[in-house]
Structure 1
């Protein structure tokens, strides 16, 4: 494959993505709300006002029972040592409940950019030009995948860094600990999320190549959010927690799935089939 051609496709698609408000505004707004504003407000309220606790007579004992049964011994001891229920709620939320939100942001952002790949070309009436250009379908697919991967991952990393700075400014004087820079969060950000973004992008690019509009591609991509919602429910209910070992296994599973999907892309080399699926 010609790397120069692939990078030209990447540059063109990234420029197109950030010239469309319906694409880039949700990509920026969602992580700002879920990954920066929400944790910062929750941390501030929980620590400084005690509103997280409220009237805790009915809640404190069940919550303490839940914390005593927490599977991670070190985390259980840390939570037990915190002085108030508000502190415990904030610490638990930031360390565990925030994980699915970052996964959701990565899924949605990669879905938006990937859904805009072939389906967006169809809506802009530019697909025919690409299909008649002297490039292979493999190069076209790889360019589309990379054009979605770079901005999605960059936004995920930027939201993580901003969140870590803002939240730690609020919480460090009380917890005396730098949050988010531990094995669980580092595995999430640098192992699971890149693999998840690639998986979601490849899947959505393949779907986008078959449907006729950006909205159709997004409808399918929206199904990928359901696992993140399931993780939120599991974290709240205590069904299971994302430990470092589990994150390693999830990342390995996604890596294997990515290899299989990339093989599927290399086999999808019939230009006429792609043309017909988009034009007719």
Structure 2
């Protein structure tokens, strides 16, 4: 594959996204919720039973925590803040790159169709793998950057508001470093590759975004599994998820690139 061609496609798509303020605005909603509003509410209301009653699944999650997970000297407020910010929010944080990717990636080919620039792109000498990878990178970069920026905000809030309640510095831990720097790029790549594949078969951006929401289902399964006590999203689980998703990334990318039919897209345009 030609790296220059891939980067050219990625830069072109990324510049189109940055010029579209209507597409950028929704990207801020989910990160603000998960990186600022939720952790701040948990830290400030950690001592109140209202929090565990109002956050769906949090009460059950606290009841199902395995023995030895929490430091033994925490009071009730410290337990809620420590457990929620360290474990409960970790799989939820994975929704940020997926939601960002769904907004940007879903307009990949559909946006080209609507701007009537797709036909010229399909007639260029780029290979299918180069074309798909370039489209994926154009969405992967902002998805990862937004998530990493959200992690910085989350870390600041957890330390400024959470440390006084817990009574010590506790964030970030190894699990979060694995999630943010390894699992986020891996799951974002998977989501974007699937979304690009869907985008190539959709006729409108809204249609591609509607189908791409299905990518959230595995993350929701993690959230539900942790809330019901079926599993704890800790460092070993995060590492296993990284290895599994990285393998799936390679397989899905190769399958999408192999089944990509530019001739069919050109036919639809004529």
TM-score in terms of structure 2 length = 0.88
From the superposition, tell whether residues 134 and 176 of structure 1 become closer, same or farther in structure 2 (CA, over 3 Å): same
Q: Residue 66 of structure 2 corresponds to which residue in structure 1?
A: 71
Q: Deviations over 1:6-35 (max 9, x none)?
A: 211111111111222332112122101222
Q: Which runs of 4+ in 1 moved over 3 A?
A: 63-67
Deviates most, 178-187 or 163-172: 178-187
- Residue 128 of structure 2 contacts residue 258 of structure 2 at CA under 8 Å; is this kept in 1? no
Q: Give distance in 2, aligned partners of 1:22 and 1:216.
A: 17
- Is 2:126 aligned against 1:135? yes
Q: Deviations over 1:36-65 (max 9, x none)?
A: 22211221222xxx4x22599xxxxxx799
Aligned-partner SS, 1:71: coil
Q: Residue 42 of structure 1 corresponds to which residue in structure 2?
A: 42
- Is 2:254 aligned against 1:263? yes
Q: Residue 59 of structure 1 corresponds to which residue in structure 2?
A: none
- Is 2:245 aligned against 1:254? yes
Q: Give distance in 1, aligned partners of 2:7 and 2:172.
A: 33
Bigger Rg, which one:
1
Q: Residue 19 of structure 1 corresponds to which residue in structure 2?
A: 19
- Residue 183 of structure 1 contacts residue 244 of structure 1 at CA under 8 Å; is this kept in 2? yes
From the superposition, tell whether residues 123 and 179 of structure 1 become closer, same or farther in structure 2 (CA, over 3 Å): farther
Which stretches in structure 1 are left out of the alignment for 5+ residues? 57-62
- CA offset at residue 70 of structure 1? 2.8
Q: Deviations over 1:216-255 (max 9, x none)?
A: 1111110111222232222222222112111111111111
Aligned-partner SS, 1:156: helix
- CA offset at residue 133 of structure 1? 2.9
Q: From 166, 169, 173, give the equivalent of 1:182.
A: 173
Q: Give distance in 2, aligned partners of 1:18 and 1:247.
A: 32
Q: Residue 55 of structure 2 corresponds to which residue in structure 1?
A: none
- CA offset at residue 71 of structure 1? 2.1
Q: What is the number of residues matched between the two proteins? A: 264
Which stretches in structure 2 are left out of the alignment for 5+ residues? 53-58
- CA offset at residue 111 of structure 1? 1.9
- Is 2:264 aligned against 1:279? no
- Is 2:66 aligned against 1:86? no
Aligned-partner SS, 1:18: helix
Q: Residue 53 of structure 1 corresponds to which residue in structure 2?
A: 49
Structure 2 counterparts to residues 190-269 of structure 1, below 5 A: 190-268=181-259
- CA offset at residue 132 of structure 1? 2.4
From the superposition, tell whether residues 206 and 64 of structure 1 become closer, same or farther in structure 2 (CA, over 3 Å): closer
TM-score in terms of structure 1 length = 0.85
Q: Residue 56 of structure 2 corresponds to which residue in structure 1?
A: none
Q: Residue 116 of structure 2 corresponds to which residue in structure 1?
A: 125
Q: Give distance in 2, aligned partners of 1:232 and 1:208.
A: 27
Q: Deviations over 1:149-204 (max 9, x none)?
A: 11100111110011101220112233243333212111111221111011111111
The alignment's C-alpha RMSD in Å is 2.4
Aligned-partner SS, 1:246: helix
From the superposition, tell whether residues 258 and 173 of structure 1 become closer, same or farther in structure 2 (CA, over 3 Å): same
